[in-house]
Amino acid sequence: MSRIGNQKIISCPDFSRLSATIAHPFEFVRTNDQYIASLLMGENPEMVLHESQIQKTLKNPLSFQKNDLFIFDLDRCLIIDPNQDYEDALQIIELANYQLLELRTFDRYLDSLLDKAEDDIKELFFKRRRLLGRRIKKKFGYLFRLRYDVMFIWENLENVSKIIGDYFLSQIYNHLSELYALDDWSDIIRQRLKVLDDFYSAAKYDINERILIILEVMIVILFIIDIILVIFEFLS
């Protein structure tokens, strides 16, 4: 690290000499913590990060052997492995990223459904459109099928760590699962599904109540007509 005036300039570590320090990857990271933290965060290496940010970015490293090291951030990771035996680890990383993408995509889709549900509820309770009932029933059935799709996603999330046979790979997956907050994303999706279900359940209940009221009124009208016909027949 050099200085120009009061400005600290972070020099790039000599990765060409990494083979000389590969026996001590933790020492290499400590020596170049500023640059590596900036690299993992996607920031300019010349930016002087606060020590708390460096510690937060480089915390919880994983190692299987004495001379390997895995450090993960949300968008990037650093892998030091002199044996270059990290293909399985990359597959686990890809799996965790795919699950995060799947949950985020599903959450965004549910967000659009919530916007449409709000419009449907407004039309049902304020505009009283007659043909809206069929649409509500179709969407209620669609939510029922959608819930099954989400159940498969949750099943995969809960069982994937059991399927992974290697203990260290399972550690990597559990670490990424916590880093990506996969459980939190699942809880958000559960909550949004519940809100959608409550919306359309209330709408369906209201529609059924209206139908029952209409049927009761029709029965009363028919009963009155029947009485009138009987009276008219009696008088004639």
The three-state secondary structure class of 13 is: coil
* pLDDT given for residue 22 in this prediction: 59
Structural domains of the chain, ranges and CATH numbers in brackets: 2-80 (no CATH), 87-235 (1.20.58)
Q: CA 147, CA 141: separation in Å to the nearest integer?
A: 10
Q: pLDDT tens, position by position, for the chain (236 residues)?
A: 333 333 333 344 555 444 444 567 888 888 888 888 888 888 887 788 888 888 888 888 888 888 888 999 888 888 888 888 888 888 888 889 988 988 898 888 888 888 887 777 777 666 555 545 566 667 766 776 777 677 777 777 766 766 666 788 888 988 998 999 988 998 888 888 888 888 777 777 777 777 788 888 888 888 888 888 877 777 76
Q: 180: closest CA among 72, 105, 88?
A: 72
pLDDT digits (tens, 9 = 90+) for 52-88: 888 888 888 888 888 888 999 888 888 888 888 888 8
Query: What confidence score (pLDDT) does residue 224 get?
Result: 85
Q: What angle do CA 160, 165, 167 make, to 5 degrees?
A: 100
Q: Do 10 and 45 form a contact (C-beta atoms < 8 A)?
A: yes
Check residue 48 and give left, alpha or beta (phi > 0: left; psi -120 to 50: alpha).
beta
Whether the CB-CB separation of 24 and 66 falls below 8 Å is answered with: no
Contacts 24+ apart (CB under 8 A), 114-121: 114/192, 114/195, 114/196, 114/199, 117/196, 117/199, 117/200, 118/199, 120/199, 120/200, 120/203, 121/199, 121/202, 121/203
Note whether 81 and 87 are within 8 A (CB). Answer: no
SS3 call for 180 = coil
Q: Where are the alpha helices (DSSP H) in 32-131?
A: 33-41, 51-58, 87-122
Closest to 160 (Cα-Cα) out of 128, 182, 131, 134: 182
- Using DSSP, state whether 47 is helix, strand or coil: coil
pLDDT of residue 14: 52
Residue 155 pLDDT: 72
Q: What is the reported pTM?
A: 0.68
